[in-house]
Amino acid sequence: MALATLVHERGIYTLRRQTEMRVALDELTAQAAATQRGGRPLLDDPVWRRRLGRCEVMVEMMAAQGYRTAERAASGDAPAESSVDKVLLANVEHEVLGFALDLLGPFATVARPNCLDRERWLNDYFFCRTASIYGGTGEIQRNIIATSILGLPRS
């Protein structure tokens, strides 16, 4: 019963957080486009563009996985793949919100004018750290994936 409940929770929560990560990433993209480092637009730097592209791919991958899990759960199936959702969600949140902190720069904890809303991004980043623990840590999720999906023996 508990596992079935967690499957539904993870699937719906993943879709909700995917939407929130999409909005956050859109805001970060706009901010990165308006940010200059060394007198040049930040997105002229291929390292930052690559990082932004990685975030984009991860958010879209999370959406596809979340819809797949939600569809299976709606049909009455309790897929172990919801553990994949949970691991993927933690990775996406760390990547996107880590990108926000990197945009804030080395003075992320200092209020500065004309800067990203540091309080929001710091709160979101610290929340994502706790979210990677509740509902089952990454290690627990990987064990579920190993035994239930990959068929590996319990150690």
How many other β-carbons are positioned within 10 Å of the β-carbon of residue 32?
22
Q: 3-state DSSP call for residue 33?
A: helix
- Stretch (H or E) spanning 9: helix 2-34
Active site includes 56?
A: no
Options 9, 20, 27, 60, the catalytic residue: 9
Give the helix ranges, DSSP H, for 35-151. Answer: 46-74, 82-104, 118-131, 138-144
Q: Would you put residue 115 in left (φ > 0), alpha (ψ -120 to 50) or beta?
A: beta
Rounded Cα–Cα distance for residues 96 and 45 (Å): 18
Catalytic residues: 9
